[in-house]
Amino acid sequence: MSEIHPIIARPEVTRRILRRFKLHASHKLGQNFLIDPEIVDEIARISEIEPGESILEIGAGIGTLTQGLLESGGSVTAIEIDKKLIPVLDETLNGYENFRLIHGDVLKLDLREIMQNQSFKVISNLPYYITTPILLALLEQKLPITKIVAMVQREVAERMIAIPNPKNPKIYGALSVAVQFFTEPRIVLEVPPGSFLPPPEVDSRVVVCDVRKSPPVEILSEQKFFQIVRASFSQRRKTILNSLIAAGFDRVSAEKNFAEIGIDPTRRGETFSLDEFAKISNAF
Ligand code: SAM
């Protein structure tokens, strides 16, 4: 750790910074700042940062995780929506080379433009109120991302890695399919509420998603695949056949398609593996 930069990831340092800038963590913006230097170090270690490697951090906060990523040698582009935090970051990360700050909403910014075709790792303690839209935006836009290392709430982490499970049908859903279609996800770290200021009401997990070079299942049309997946999970208590009809598919040809591939159309969406969703979408 460089001498001119005290470690931000400490409760007293974080409190001092917030006090000095007369700030309160915004619940609405999902501001739970890390205050545990071991967790910051562990996230940087897990991310296997190469010297000078391009990293996108979503939600820099007061620069806590950003600092750990910079100290690990990464070249960090950080996005932060809260304009009150911009002068804070200018100060806490002052002097770090290889740091670029973008003030804006990650869901509205042109990430392709930001990445300029370079390969990036996304490393972030995500704002929990928009975790799923952020993950889907990162995955579906086919950005040049090789790895996502994300702090998310425990329930979301479990959905990301879930497979069909009749004992716990509510966990597996469209997010599970999308994450596993584009990446190989694994939970690598458990983080208790006390590692944050203020502590969130939920437990947290760090999930590493290695982005796949090619999909794990063969599909004829990605658009059709996700149209079927989304329709299948949109009304959980319905059979897949009724869900697809509700989404506008024709009953007669749908029944014919299911018969041809030998899949029971009275099963519910949450019982289908990626492989079966691929088979169904290829038949439609
Ligand atoms: N990285 C810091 C840390 O680990 O302590 C802060 C993490 S905090 C959980 C999430 C951060 O995301 C907050 O600073 C919040 O202001 C920011 N944020 C919330 N919504 C955002 C959005 N739509 N785009 C960019 N940043 C956002």
Q: Are residues 111 and 155 in the same domain?
A: yes
Q: Are residues 269 and 170 in the same domain?
A: no
Q: Are residues 206 and 227 in the same domain?
A: no
Q: Picking from 3-12, 42-51, 204-213, 226-235, which range would have the lowest pLDDT averaged per residue? A: 3-12
pLDDT tens digit string along 55-109?
A: 999 999 999 999 999 999 999 999 999 999 999 999 999 999 999 999 999 999 9
Pocket lining: 80 vs ligand 1, CB cutoff 6 Å: yes
What are the E-state strand segments in the chain? Answer: 33-34, 54-58, 75-80, 99-103, 120-125, 145-153, 183-191, 196-197, 204-211
Average pLDDT over residues 248-252: 96
Q: Are residues 144 and 183 in the same domain?
A: yes
- pLDDT, the chain, mean: 96
Decide which of 211, 240, 270 is a domain's last residue: 211
Q: Are residues 42 and 127 in the same domain?
A: yes
- Residue 231, in any domain of the structure: yes
| pLDDT above 60 (res 184) | yes
Average pLDDT over residues 241-254: 96
Pocket lining: 107 vs ligand 1, CB cutoff 6 Å: yes
For ligand 1, mutation pick of 24, 43, 80 (most atoms within 8 Å of CB) = 80
Q: Are residues 170 and 230 in the same domain?
A: no
The residue to which tokens 């399919």 are assigned: 177
Rounded to whole angstroms, the Cα distance separating 70 from 83 reads 22
- Residue 4, in any domain of the structure: no
Q: Are residues 142 and 61 in the same domain?
A: yes
Pocket lining: 47 vs ligand 1, CB cutoff 6 Å: no
Query: Which residue is closest in CA terms to ligand 1's atom 6?
Result: 61
**CB contact set of 217 (below 8 Å; sequence gap of 6+):** 181, 274, 275, 277, 278
- Residue 260, in any domain of the structure: yes
Decide which of 155, 178, 211 is a domain's last residue: 211
- Residue 97, in any domain of the structure: yes
- Residue 217, in any domain of the structure: no
What pLDDT does 169 receive? 80
Ligand 1 atom index nearest CA of 79: 25
Grade residue 5 by pLDDT with cuts at 50, 70 and 90: confident
- Residue 3, in any domain of the structure: no
Range of the domain at 55: 11-211
Query: Which residue is closest in CA terms to ligand 1's atom 8?
Result: 31
- Residue 107, in any domain of the structure: yes
Q: Are residues 26 and 107 in the same domain?
A: yes
| pLDDT above 60 (res 1) | no
We report the CATH number of the domain holding residue 138 as 3.40.50.150
Decide which of 150, 179, 211 is a domain's last residue: 211
Rounded to whole angstroms, the Cα distance separating 189 from 46 reads 9
Grade residue 166 by pLDDT with cuts at 50, 70 and 90: confident
Q: Are residues 170 and 141 in the same domain?
A: yes
Pocket lining: 60 vs ligand 1, CB cutoff 6 Å: yes
Pocket lining: 63 vs ligand 1, CB cutoff 6 Å: no
Cα-to-centroid distance, 29 and ligand 1 (Å)? 7
- Residue 279, in any domain of the structure: yes
Q: Are residues 50 and 187 in the same domain?
A: yes
Q: Are residues 181 and 262 in the same domain?
A: no
Query: Which residue is closest in CA terms to ligand 1's atom 3?
Result: 33
Q: Are residues 168 and 231 in the same domain?
A: no
**CB contact set of 105 (below 8 Å; sequence gap of 6+):** 81
User: Which tokens in the block code for residue 153?
Assistant: 């709430």
User: Which tokens in the block code for residue 68?
Assistant: 């750990």
**CB contact set of 86 (below 8 Å; sequence gap of 6+):** 80, 101, 103
Grade residue 3 by pLDDT with cuts at 50, 70 and 90: low
The number of distinct structural domains making up the chain is: 2
Cα-to-centroid distance, 79 and ligand 1 (Å)? 8
